[in-house]
A = this chain, B = another copy of it.
Amino acid sequence: VKNLADLGERHIIELIKNLVKQNESMIGIGDDCAALDMGKEYLLLTTDMITKHTHISERMTAYQQGWFLVAINLSDLAAKGGKPLAVLIALGLPKNTSEKYVQDLIKGANDCAVRYGTVIAGGDTKENQTITLCGTAVGCVKKDEIMLRKGAQPGDVLAVTGTVGHAAAGYYELQQQKNNPVLLKGLFEPIPRIPEGQILGKMKVISSCMDSSDGLSSSLYQLQESNHLGFEIQKTLLPLSPNLSLLCFDDPYECALHFGGDYELLCTLPKHQVPNVQQELKKLGTSFTVIGSVTKDEGISLLSSGTKKVLPNKGYEHFSPHVFL
């Protein structure tokens, strides 16, 4: 009998997809959000659970846990071009949890929601053996502005907002028992790209989009699966987080390619649209960097100093033997 450790999260998602009834008017399981047809708009829905075991480090404050819970759910809306409408949070907490912990967690969750134009509209609190937090974000997007995972075209370029390895830098800081709050923030207080996502959606030039939270390599393999196309990544084009080189003793490019926890938007688009997008995102102070291109044939390669290698799929996947955080 197979168990989840043998199967991995991606297989489980496939299994679920095949068991549930599909609704024709709905974009369902397999994208960052579910999208319900509401006439002129899609209603976007997403849920993400975090647990002590997988996401909540001992060094994370209660405030950061609340922020993180809301941010990762909003990031899924951002990747579809969505405007947030509301967030729900369900808290599974041990009996001996302090009132102060709950207060700080709620403050963090509320601050993140309000910062991105929405509110905590409701939730649930339940007793649990280990801290387990589950968030749900609801948003909307005009039908012609939604950015789906599916839609990449051969010849498109692949681009990413911000930097890669920002969270990894925080992870190495943590691993070295150091405590620079700015670096830890990169890991514990991710920035959902809500305004960027809405601008990208409104420009109607993005052919496919997802967030990079599972790591760049894992995200690319997921994007390949949705599109049945391939990617060529130019290693030297990767916009490395400036701190990563200082902290990562291994090859920082390797970290940037495989480490999860960055909540950037990974997009494909026609090459000639890149300057327009860069100009629009510059108004928000956000960079937009071409890192490769979309190929007709499946397969993901990494190009570096004239050589071409297959990019391994080493990103963060739940239940798989390899766990980064």
**A residues apposed to B, CB below 8 Å:** 1-5, 7, 9, 12-13, 15-16, 19-23, 26, 28-29, 33-34, 36, 43, 45-54, 85-86, 88-100, 102-103, 106-107, 109-110, 113-114, 119-130, 132, 134, 136, 138, 318-319, 323
> How far apart sit A164 and B36, CA to CA, in the bound complex (Å)?
36
Say whether B122 contacts A48, CB under 8 Å.
Answer: no
Say whether B130 contacts A99, CB under 8 Å.
Answer: no
Q: Closest Cβ of chain B: how far from A114's Cβ, in Å?
A: 5
Q: Closest Cβ of chain B: how far from A23's Cβ, in Å?
A: 5
Oligomer: number of copies = 2
Task: Name the one of B49, B88, B97 contacting A3, with C-beta atoms under 8 angstroms.
Answer: B97
Q: A4-B127, A21-B110 provided; 11 other pairs, C-beta below 8 A? A: A3-B98, A4-B98, A5-B96, A15-B103, A49-B90, A51-B126, A53-B129, A54-B126, A54-B127, A128-B132, A130-B130
Say whether B47 contacts A99, CB under 8 Å.
Answer: no
Say whether A51 contacts B100, CB under 8 Å.
Answer: no
Question: From DSSP, what is the main secondary structure of chain A's interface residues?
Answer: mixed
**A96: which B residues are within 8 A, CB to CB?**
3-5
- Sorted from nearest, which 9 A-B pairs have the closest CB atoms? A34-B121, A134-B134, A34-B122, A49-B90, A5-B95, A20-B120, A47-B88, A136-B136, A19-B106
> How far apart sit A23 and B47, CA to CA, in the bound complex (Å)?
22
> How far apart sit A23 and B84, CA to CA, in the bound complex (Å)?
13
Say whether B54 contacts A114, CB under 8 Å.
Answer: no
Say whether B90 contacts A121, CB under 8 Å.
Answer: no
Q: Closest Cβ of chain B: how far from A30's Cβ, in Å?
A: 9
**A15: which B residues are within 8 A, CB to CB?**
99, 102-103, 106
**A92: which B residues are within 8 A, CB to CB?**
49, 51, 132, 134
